[in-house]
Amino acid sequence: MRLRQSEIAEKALECITTASAQRDLFDEYGTRANSFPTMILQSGLAQALGFLRAKSGDDSPLKKAYAQYYKDLVALVRVAMPALPPDGEAFYQEVLQAELGDYRRISQITLDSAVWLKRLYQGSPKPKNGGQH
């Protein structure tokens, strides 16, 4: 029997590996990974996801990084809760409409997932060309 945390960690490693291949987005992606767990704790899941949604897009590297992070986060949460929708907008609506018990469970799993993305980003190789993470 595999633990939920190990399944989330495995999927998070795939997400970080994929994101690191897009060097122009990876630094911004890492900024999201570093700050998002704190955002969930400070603002709550619904507001934190709303912020990600509002900042996501395709017209700049920053917006693409937000969008990729949001997509990866939803995928990680779905490892533990596969009944949740895979689409970011539908996922957000599900969070908004969730009963208190479900909201708390989704919040905890999302926080666990965000922490795995943060850990793995921080442990990823740093660029040697003077770039910062």
pLDDT single digits (tens) 5-20:
889 999 999 999 999 8
Please say if the pLDDT value at position 86 is more than 70: yes
pTM of the model: 0.89
How far is it, in rounded angstroms, from Cα 9 to Cα 121?
A: 12
Quick one: tokens of 116?
Answer: 């795995």
CATH 1.10.520.30 fits 4-122, yes or no: yes
